C-alpha cells in the first residue's frame, strides 16, 4: 500500500511535544503514526513543536508545547502552527490532521486533501464546525466515538510501540490508576474499589481538575494504601505496571479510545474498565480484563483477575493495537483518498 | 476614488454585534467604515454577527456576539467566522480585516489582498504573528500605535457618525468618565481628580476588571459625589454628555486611539487626557481639551475648562474624525493596494 512518491504531512497538536514526555495521548498517536509511516518508507513531514523527536522531516514554528512553556500563548501558537502547515500544503499529497476542529477551517483553502483523525469531541460547542466540514475525510479511533453525518472512511484503532512496554510474566500486588486526574476518569471510583477490596491503590497522572483532586482524591491519600505518584513517563509507567495486579479504568463518561488500557495490556496487566464507549472494543471481557458497570462489579472482577492470561493480554495488543496494525489501517485510508482524489481531479 | 466595480469585504469582530449596542470599539469602527463605503457607492459585504445592522450585504455564520450569548464558544465562533470570509475570498477584490491577528494566518491561502487595520496590540505574545506577516498591508489608527517592521500604508484615524452626538452649546456641571472599568483607563485617577476638585464624577462603562472595580472603585461610590451608572448606549452617552463639564480620560498606558474622546468632543465636551499614546493626536492641547501628565495637572486643567470653545471641539472632529474623513482615508489606501496588486499580477 506504501507509495513512496506520495508526500504526507502529519499535523500534530502542540500542547506537548511529539511524542510527549509524559501525558499527551493525541501527540503520542500522531507520533506513532509518523514513525510507523517512516519505517514503511513513506515521505513524511511532521508539523509539531521544535523539541519533538522524529525520524520524519520536522517542520516547526513553535518551540515548545504551550502546556510546557508559560511564555507561549496557546491561541497564538495554534494559529501559527496550523496555518504554517496549510501554507505548505502544495508540497504534500495529503495533510493528516490530529489537531481537533481548527485545521478544518483551513481545509477548503487548499487543493491538498485533508484527513482528520478525530481523537475526541471535546465539547458539544465544537460540533457546528464538524457539521460544516462533514464532507471532509474523517477517521474515528473507535466505532463508538462517532458523530452522525460525518464522512468517516474507517475506524483505525490507536496503536502503540510494544517495545516500550515489555511483557511481565508475573503481576504485582497493587491496583493501579493511570490517567488524567479528572472526574471523567473515575479516580474516586478506583479509590472506592481499593477500600472495598482491601488492596493498595497507586494513582499516577497529571492533575487536570485541581478542585477534584483537592476535594475527592487528596483526602484519601495516606502514604500507605492510597498513594499519588504524580505524572509518569514511559519508565514510570513500566515501574507502575511491574507493581500492578490490575489497572482500574472506571471512566464515568464514554471512553473515546483509552490508550492506557492498551499500554497496560501490552505489559501483561489486565484491565477492569467501565463498559462505556470504546472500552468493549479495546478490552475483551474475560480475556484481557473485565468490563463492569459499577463499583460492586469492579470489586468482584478484582477477585477474578487470576483467571486472566497475561500473555493473552499482550497478544491481543500485538494483533489489534500495534503501530504496524494502525499504520496498515491508515495506509488503506490514504489509498482510498488518493483514489477518490484522482477521480475527482483527473 | 470610489470604484463601483471593486467588491470589498469588511471582516468585523464577533465579540459584539456590528455596530455594538453599548461597548465595542472595534465593531463600531468596522461598522462606520462599512456604512461610509456604502454611502459612497461601494459594493461592500460585511462579515459580522447575524444580528448586525447594516446597509451592506451581511454575511454571517455566527448568530450573536460571544460576549452577548453564553452558548457561543468564542474560539469555535472565531474560527468559523474568519474562515468563512476567506472561503469567499474569490468574490472580493479586497478583504479588510478588523479582527486582530487571526485573519493574517489565512491571508497567504488566497490571492485576494488582505488589509488589516490594527486596532491595538492586545499582548506582546501576539507579535510573532505580526512579524511573520509583516509584508502584508497594514493601517494604524494613530501614528503612536505602531509596531516596527510592519508594512504600514497609512494611519487612518477612526471616524464617528457625528449625527449621533449633537453639539450641546452649554456644558453641565459634572466630571464624567466613559470607558471600560479597567486600570488601563485610570478610573481611580478620575476619582482622585473629582475629590481634589470638589466636583461630582459620573462613571459609565462596562466592568471589564471585576477585582479593580470591587477594590478601587466601588468603595468610593456614595450616590452623591461619585456615581457609577453602568454601561451606556448612544442615548445614555448623550445624557452623560449633557451633564458633563469635561470628560476625564486619565489612561495609565498609551492610548491606541480613544474613540470616546472624539465622541465627547463631537458633543462639545472638552477632554482632559493623559499625554500617553495617541491622546495628543486626538486632543489638541488647549483647544479641544488638555493633555496632562498626572492628577495634579488634571486638577489644574479642570479649572481651565472655561477657556475651551465647545464649537471648536466639534469642528475638529468634523474635520479629522468624521466617517467621511476616515472613509476617504481608506479609499486612498484601497487605491494604493489595487495599484500594487495590478503591478504584481498584471
Q: What is the CA radius of gyration of chain A?
A: 20
Task: Report angle CA A263, A269, A270 to the nearest 5 degrees.
Answer: 105
pLDDT of the residue at A23: 83
Q: Report pLDDT for A345.
A: 76
Task: Tell me, rounded to whole angstroms, the distance of Cα A103 from its chain centroid.
Answer: 19
Percentage, residues of chain A above pLDDT 90: 95
The pLDDT value recorded for residue B338 is: 96
CB-nearest partner of B80 from A72, A106, A128: A128
Look at residue A172 in the predicted model and tell me its pLDDT. 94
| Per-residue model confidence (pLDDT) at position A129 | 97
pLDDT tens, position by position, A90-132: 999 999 999 999 999 999 999 999 999 999 998 899 999 999 9
Q: Which residues pair with B9 in a beta bridge?
A: B45, B95
Select the residue from A50, A76, A91, A104 to test the B interface by mutation, using most B Cβ atoms within 10 A: A76
Supply the pLDDT for residue A58: 98
pTM: 0.91
Give the distance from residue B50's alpha carbon to the nearest chain A alpha carbon, in angstroms.
15
Query: Which pLDDT score, from 0 to 100, does residue A111 have?
Result: 96
- Please report which confidence band the pLDDT of residue A344 belongs to, taking 50, 70 and 90 as the band edges: confident
DSSP secondary structure letter of residue B204: E
Placement of cell 482500574 in the chain: A248
CB interface of B with A, residues 147-176, below 8 Å? none
Q: Are A257 and A283 in contact (CB under 8 A)?
A: no
Question: Consecutive 10-residue runs of chain B (346 residues): their mean pLDDT?
Answer: 83 97 92 96 97 98 95 95 98 98 98 97 93 98 96 97 95 96 97 97 96 97 96 95 97 94 98 97 97 97 96 97 97 96 84
Report in angstroms the alpha-carbon separations of A329 from A36, A321, A322, B312: 11, 11, 11, 75
Helices (H) and strands (E) in chain B, counts: 11, 13
Find the distance separating the first CA and the last CA of chain B, reported in whole Å: 21
CA distances (Å), A90 to each of A41, A84, A110, B267, in order?
21, 12, 8, 55
Tell me what the mean pLDDT of segment A250-266 comes to.
95
8 Å CB contact of A105 and B83: yes
Grid cell, residue A24, equals 499527551
Would an 8 Å CB–CB cutoff place A123 in contact with chain B?
yes
pLDDT at B321: 97
Examine the pLDDT at A346 and tell me if it is beyond 80: no
- SS3 state at B140: strand
Q: Residue B105: list chain A partners with CB under 8 A.
A: 79-80, 82-83
Q: Nearest CA of chain A to the CA of B73: how many Å? A: 6
Q: CA-CA-CA-CA torsion for A80, A86, A89, A90, nearest 10 degrees?
A: -100
What pLDDT shows up at residue B2?
Answer: 66
**CA nearest neighbour of B8 among B33, B25, B26, B29:** B33
Q: What is the CA radius of gyration of chain B?
A: 20
Banded pLDDT at A177 (limits 50, 70, 90):
very high
Write down the mean pLDDT value for chain A: 96
Using an 8 Å CB-CB cutoff, list chain A residues near B109.
83, 86-87, 106, 109-110
Closest CA–CA distance from residue B133 to any residue of chain A (Å): 10
Contact A156, A295 (CB under 8 A): no
Contact B240, B229 (CB under 8 A): yes
Per-residue confidence (pLDDT) for residue B1, from 0 to 100: 58
| pLDDT, position B346 | 65
Please tell me the predicted confidence (pLDDT) of residue A4: 67
- A206-235 pLDDT, tens per residue? 999 999 999 999 999 999 999 999 999 999
Provide the edge-to-edge strand list for the sheet that holds B271-274: B226-230, B201-204, B174-178, B244-249, B271-274, B289-292
Interface residue A99 vs chain B (CB under 8 A): no
- The single-letter DSSP state of residue B89 is G
Q: Does B25 touch chain A (CB under 8 A)?
A: no
In Å, what is the CA distance from A130 to each residue of A326, A327, B301?
24, 25, 58
Question: Does B71 lie at the interface with A, CB-CB under 8 angstroms?
Answer: yes
d(CA A73, CA A80): 11
A102 close to B (CB below 8 A): yes
Cα–Cα distance measured from residue B236 to residue B246, given in angstroms and rounded to the nearest whole number: 16
Say which residues have a Cβ less than 8 Å from residue B70's Cβ, sequence separation at least 6.
none
The answer to whether the CB atoms of B73 and A125 lie below 8 A apart is yes
Q: In the prediction, which pLDDT does B23 show?
A: 83
Decide: helix, strand or coil at residue B293. Answer: coil
- Give A84 to chain B, closest Cα distance, Å: 8
Whether pLDDT at A278 is above 70: yes
Model confidence at A314: pLDDT above 70? yes
Amino acid at each position: 500500500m506504501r507509495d513512496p512518491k506520495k508526500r504526507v504531512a502529519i499535523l500534530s497538536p502542540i500542547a506537548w511535544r511529539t511524542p510527549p514526555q509524559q501525558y499527551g495521548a493525541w501527540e503520542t498517536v500522531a507520533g506513532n503514526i509518523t514513525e510507523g509511516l517512516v519505517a514503511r518508507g513513506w515521505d513524511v513531514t511532521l508539523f509539531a513543536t521544535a523539541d519533538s523527536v522524529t525520524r520524519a522531516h520536522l517542520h516547526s514554528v513553535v518551540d515548545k508545547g504551550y502546556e510546557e512553556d508559560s511564555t507561549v500563548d496557546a491561541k497564538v501558537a495554534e494559529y501559527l502552527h496550523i496555518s504554517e502547515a496549510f501554507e505548505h500544503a502544495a508540497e504534500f499529497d495529503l495533510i493528516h490532521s490530529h489537531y481537533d476542529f481548527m485545521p478544518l477551517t483551513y481545509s477548503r483553502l487548499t487543493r491538498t486533501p485533508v484527513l482528520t483523525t478525530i481523537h475526541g469531541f471535546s465539547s458539544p460547542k465544537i460540533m457546528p464546525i464538524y457539521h460544516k466540514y462533514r464532507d471532509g475525510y474523517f477517521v474515528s479511533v473507535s466505532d463508538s466515538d462517532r458523530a452522525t453525518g460525518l464522512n468517516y472512511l474507517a475506524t483505525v484503532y490507536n496503536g502503540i510501540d510494544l517495545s516500550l512496554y515489555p511483557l511481565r510474566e508475573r503481576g504485582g500486588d497493587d491496583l493501579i490508576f493511570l490517567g488524567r486526574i479528572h472526574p471523567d476518569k473515575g479516580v474516586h471510583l478506583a479509590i472506592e474499589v481499593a477500600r472495598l477490596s482491601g488492596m493498595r491503590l497507586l494513582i499516577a497522572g497529571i492533575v487536570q481538575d485541581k478542585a477534584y483532586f483537592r476535594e475527592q482524591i487528596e483526602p484519601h491519600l495516606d502514604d500507605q494504601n492510597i498513594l499519588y505518584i504524580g505524572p509518569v513517563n514511559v519508565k514510570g509507567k513500566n515501574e507502575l505496571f511491574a507493581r500492578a495486579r490490575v489497572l482500574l479504568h472506571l471512566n464515568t463518561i464514554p471512553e473515546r479510545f483509552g490508550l492506557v488500557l492498551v499500554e497496560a495490556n501490552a505489559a501483561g496487566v489486565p484491565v477492569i474498565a467501565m463498559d462505556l464507549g470504546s472500552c468493549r472494543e479495546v478490552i475483551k471481557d474475560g480475556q484481557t480484563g473485565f468490563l463492569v458497570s459499577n463499583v460492586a462489579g469492579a470489586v468482584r472482577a478484582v477477585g477474578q483477575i487470576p483467571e486472566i492470561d497475561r500473555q493473552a493480554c499482550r497478544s491481543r495488543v500485538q494483533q489489534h493495537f500495534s503501530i504496524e496494525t494502525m499504520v496498515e489501517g491508515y495506509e488503506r485510508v490514504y489509498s482510498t483518498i488518493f483514489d477518490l482524489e484522482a477521480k475527482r481531479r483527473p
